[in-house]
């Protein structure tokens, strides 16, 4: 909040001026899944623009005597440095995120008088010029985008902003007015530089330099601290980050399904493509999300989302060796999949067909590793069992696998007997190994 105020914003006027869609202003009437459309609105778009490209787009705009871009990045990294100091000693910390869900702001828009298309987000879809005028107290008519047919389309036109209500503090001019993008002439806003934000390649020019700086300074604080970037979860930044370790944070296990009620969650999901892509890229990810307070009346209790892999409404009476599905889990078949937990060598290819149940894993064996390759096998995918075919390797029983482990940890034990782990070792002198597991019908 203080950074918004530092550049002259008056957050108490955000809702009335159209500068942001605020849950606290709308309460129970807050529209489902429209929160992300704030990326098109003045407050969010301005802050991302200044954070990533303030030196170029807003020269002369300063906070406490420092250029705005450097000031915002320095203070953000300093805050994360404090996080590292407190958390780095803990061995369970996998890495330090750069910046959650970074946005481009207005960066790269060739003509700010043109509304964004194609429509990718539900909610109001103002052009940057619409957002600036509304934030100055000049209401504008904009498209309200929502589900229409099989995609997103314009549902209606709505007024954004309120006459005379500014998103800025009294006595503070809009940052973009200060930067010469627009001015007020004879009491009306006039656009002077429609192409002001038309810079090329946000990833290379803005995001990548920040990630490099962040990684350098965080590693200087804790040399063994891991680092990952959530920018890649949108897919847009993968190409630009091919020289960084990438960890995907938030693949959703299914689309939000608000019409479902207790007991109605189907045994399928709508987002299996997330996991197919992760397998194909041999990448790691965490799941979005587990919300202990999820209930069907209110979802995850955050902006109308209903994405949790757990719901209290799905809890069933406790029973001995109860399957995971009775412990509040839902839509499990979509994300509980066979997976190579550990590989004694170099992973080459992994795929799983959820319809047929065919799992295929290829790897190049490293004979210096004494531990076996471990494959997680969820019973929910193979209710009638499975067949195993191998090339270049052989399966060994769990009791032998435990004795082969380098560490003192026992062979993994999975709760409720719902799942198991299979163990494989390479045949002597054969480096290329393939494991194919198929569902029995």
Any idea which fold 339-439 has?
Immunoglobulin-like (2.60.40)
Alpha-carbon dihedral sign for residues 390, 391, 394, 398: negative
Helix H or strand E encompassing 49: helix 42-57
Q: Using CB atoms within 10 A of its CB, is residue 14 exposed (0-12), middle (13-18) or buried (19+)?
A: buried
Half-sphere exposure of 335 (CA within 13 A, CB side): 25
3-state secondary structure of 269: coil
pTM for this prediction: 0.74
Look-up of token digits 């435990």:
402
User: How many Å apart are CA 332 and CA 379, to the nearest integer?
Assistant: 11
Per-residue pLDDT of the chain in tens (441 residues, 90 and over written 9)? 999 999 999 999 999 999 999 988 888 788 877 888 999 999 999 999 999 999 999 999 999 999 999 999 999 999 999 998 898 788 777 778 888 889 999 999 999 999 888 877 899 999 999 999 999 999 999 999 998 888 889 999 999 999 999 999 999 999 999 999 999 999 999 999 999 999 878 999 999 999 999 988 988 887 655 545 444 343 333 333 445 556 676 665 554 444 455 555 544 444 677 889 889 999 888 777 888 988 888 788 877 778 888 888 888 776 555 565 567 888 788 888 999 999 999 999 999 999 999 999 999 999 999 899 999 999 889 989 999 999 999 999 887 776 444 444 444 444 344 568 999 999 999 999 999 999 998
Domain boundaries, the chain: 2-191, 250-335, 339-439
């Amino acid at each position: 909040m203080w950074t918004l105020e530092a550049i002259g914003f008056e957050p108490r006027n955000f809702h009335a001026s159209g500068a942001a869609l605020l849950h606290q202003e709308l309460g129970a009437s807050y529209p489902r899944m429209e929160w992300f459309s704030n990326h098109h609105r003045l407050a969010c778009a301005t802050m991302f623009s200044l954070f990533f490209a303030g030196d170029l787009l807003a020269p002369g705009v300063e906070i406490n005597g420092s250029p705005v871009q450097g000031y915002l990045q320095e203070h953000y990294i300093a805050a994360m440095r404090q996080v590292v100091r407190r958390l780095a000693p803990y061995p369970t910390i996998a890495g330090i995120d750069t910046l959650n869900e970074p946005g481009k702001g207005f960066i790269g828009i060739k003509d700010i008088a043109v509304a964004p298309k194609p429509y990718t987000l539900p909610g109001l879809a103002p052009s940057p010029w619409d957002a600036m005028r509304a934030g100055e107290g000049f209401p504008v008519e904009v498209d309200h985008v929502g589900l229409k047919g099989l995609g997103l389309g314009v549902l209606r036109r709505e007024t954004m902003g309120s006459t005379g209500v500014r998103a800025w503090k009294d006595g503070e001019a809009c940052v973009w007015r200060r930067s010469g993008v627009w001015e007020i002439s004879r009491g009306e806003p006039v656009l002077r530089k429609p192409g002001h934000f038309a810079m090329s390649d946000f990833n290379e020019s803005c995001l990548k330099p920040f990630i490099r700086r962040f990684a350098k300074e965080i590693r200087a604080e804790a040399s063994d601290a891991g680092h990952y970037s959530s920018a890649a979860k949108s897919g847009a930044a993968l190409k630009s980050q091919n020289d960084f370790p990438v960890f995907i944070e938030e693949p959703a296990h299914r689309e939000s399904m608000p019409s479902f009620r207790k007991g109605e969650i189907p045994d399928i999901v709508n987002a299996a493509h997330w996991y197919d892509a992760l397998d194909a890229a041999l990448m790691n990810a965490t799941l979005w999300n587990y919300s202990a307070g999820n209930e069907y009346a209110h979802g995850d209790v955050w902006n109308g989302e209903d994405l949790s892999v757990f719901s209290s409404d799905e809890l069933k009476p406790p029973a001995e060796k109860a399957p995971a599905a009775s412990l509040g889990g839902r839509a499990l078949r979509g994300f509980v999949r066979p997976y190579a937990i550990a590989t004694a060598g170099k992973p080459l290819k992994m795929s799983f067909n959820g319809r047929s149940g065919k799992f295929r894993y290829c790897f190049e064996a490293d004979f210096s590793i004494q531990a076996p390759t471990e494959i997680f096998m969820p019973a929910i995918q193979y209710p009638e069992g499975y067949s195993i075919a191998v090339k270049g390797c052989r399966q060994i029983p769990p009791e032998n696998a435990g004795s082969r482990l380098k560490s003192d940890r026992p062979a993994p034990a999975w709760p409720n007997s719902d799942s198991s782990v299979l163990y494989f070792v390479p045949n002597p002198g054969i480096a290329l190994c393939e494991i194919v597991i198929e569902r029995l019908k």
